[in-house]
Chains A and B, each alone.
Chain A
């Protein structure tokens, strides 16, 4: 009898690394990253549109808005493209013709995509911190009396918010990968990925509907929506934080557990679906 081929983290890491390498060598994703960086760095020139919000808060909102918008676009398109390029170019045939589990393929893809999203969030967060620090220093020079009030910006909050944005993008990548695992076209995957993003942001409506009650059908539907889809509002800390106030770490930890739960379920379903797929 032959020795069993068990699930291998090494092969999963190889597939993840190859996914990152493919993303890194594609100009489109680099362009999205540069565009996002340009928006963050240029946020100060947009401060006339702050609608009365404090300037540093406006800059932070601007940075996290850019991260959310470009990050979602990057993650959905990259997931669909990097998955379907394997199918359409038939590289998946040679890959799965090696002693590789389909679960390793799916998890490798997910880890690679989560890494790409992580790099994007790290770069944007660091740039945002640079923009905030530079403007904070300038304001302290202009208004020396305000220095007695303490720091304007809590940089730990900015980092926490960056981490939560990354977790949100990882959840989105897992859900998009789940769709890709059974979808026949890249376009369907991209469109459905954006629908999931919108549903996730409006998920509180389903929760409200479920809480209000009503017919069993409406209650069932809203309950299903409220459970099956992640609530992306939970990840949007930038909306609620006062820039200078420290955020409790346990809140971040709780959202991280919530995200990991959804990632686990979505990746598990993607593996089950991909195992049945005829290539």
Chain B
């Protein structure tokens, strides 16, 4: 037990080293390189964004992490265990892009099915299923068939099945794709709650604003190659500039301020009224009613 804990402390949640994936195309077996010598390290407890345009290798990378595709070369480890081993999947919860679940099942049956596959049983199973359904806000719809669910509800039941077996690493592939802003905000909030619980989250999304809000670090892929990697704050922040927020000043006082700054060798580069974000206005209007 102590050894296991020690190993976990040393091992990152996810480590990819020189990962390559080639696909054969056509009868002549031409190689298409989907992932090209990818190195990534995701520490436990981080929310990590995997970004890139369509076809950049994000989904292929995720499939290799899940052991659904075998790497052509390189290594991929989840908490120190090779991703090709079934054991690695015990620590992973996965929400695929645009999930299609067994539509003939009810939400509760679906979560129960995945929970049992994840090794839960008995009283703990029943309690955990109800708990995660409540966490994603689907208690009222839990006994309805999935075929009657909206897109947002599908994503939420997908999240429920992903977290039901207490995984330490969550892989969320476009979790808010096609979901309205209220649903997207609820999913974002849930991701932050999971982070607060100490879970590691690997997330892909084309909504860069969302990524910026929730991720600690990001990696940007293009044509299978790692283009940029770093902490979000370091990447988007400008250490040599500051914004000061004050109530609107009369023109004369503004002129005084500019002169005062210039007398000290500084330049006032921009004066602008801060703008509220449209998604926040939408949430204030609609979210509260919901």
Q: Interface SS of chain B: helix, strand, loop or mixed?
A: mixed
Complex partner residue of A100 from B4, B96, B105, B117, CB under 8 angstroms: B117
Which of A2, A18, A21 lies in contact with B4, CB distance below 8 A?
A2
Assess whether B86 is in contact with A94, with CB atoms less than 8 Å apart: no
Say how far A201's CB is from chain B's closest CB, in angstroms: 34
| Smallest CB separation, A30 vs chain B (Å) | 13
Q: Please give the distance in Å from B43's CB to the nearest CB on chain A.
A: 19
Interface residue from B96, B102, B114, B119 paired with A93 (Cβ < 8 Å)? B96
Bound-state CA distance A84–B7 (Å) is 40
| Given A11-B117, A93-B68, A94-B161, A99:B89 Cβ within 8 A | yes
A11-B165 Cα distance, complex, nearest whole Å: 14
CB nearest neighbor in A for B95: A94
Q: A residues bordering B, Cβ < 8 Å?
A: 1-5, 10-11, 14, 18, 21-22, 25-26, 89-91, 93-101, 278-279
Write the chain A residue with the least CB distance to B98. A90
21 pairs of residues in contact across A and B, judged by CB atoms under 8 Å: A2-B87, A3-B87, A18-B102, A18-B113, A26-B104, A90-B99, A91-B100, A93-B94, A94-B94, A94-B95, A94-B114, A94-B158, A96-B68, A97-B66, A97-B89, A98-B118, A98-B165, A99-B86, A99-B117, A278-B69, A279-B69
User: Is the Cβ of B92 less than 8 Å from the Cβ of A97?
Assistant: yes
B3 at the binding interface (Cβ < 8 Å): yes
Shortest B284–chain A CB gap in Å is 35
Known contacts A25-B104, A91-B101, A98-B117; is-contact A2 B90 (Cβ 8 Å): yes
Chain A's closest residue to B67 (CB) is: A96
Q: A1 contacts B104, CB within 8 Å?
A: no
Chain B 75-108 interface 0/1 with A at a Cβ cutoff of 8 Å (1 = within): 0000101000011011011111001111011000
The majority secondary structure among interface residues of chain A is loop
6 A-B pairs with least C-beta separation: A97-B94, A25-B104, A89-B100, A98-B117, A99-B90, A5-B86
**A-B CB contacts (within 8 Å), total count:** 85
Instruction: Say yes or no for B216: interface residue by CB 8 A criterion.
Output: no
Chain A neighbourhood of B104, CB < 8 A:
21-22, 25-26
Could you tell me the distance in whole angstroms from the C-beta of A97 to the nearest C-beta in chain B? Answer: 4
How distant is the Cα of A1 from the Cα of B116 in the complex, in angstroms?
A: 23
B63 and A5 contact, CB distance less than 8 A: no
CA distance A22 to B103 in the complex (A): 9
Contacts of B81 in A (CB 8 A): 2
Q: Chain A contacts of B158 at CB under 8 A?
A: 94
Contact of B66 among A1, A2, A5, A96 (CB under 8 A): A96
Which residues of the partner chain A approach B194 to less than 8 Å between Cβ atoms?
none
A129 to B268, CA, bound (A): 96
* B184 contacts the other chain (CB 8 A): no
Contacts of A2 in B (CB 8 A): 4, 79, 81, 87, 90
A201-B69 Cα distance, complex, nearest whole Å: 39
The answer to the question of B70 belonging to the interface, with a C-beta cut-off of 8 Å to chain A, is yes
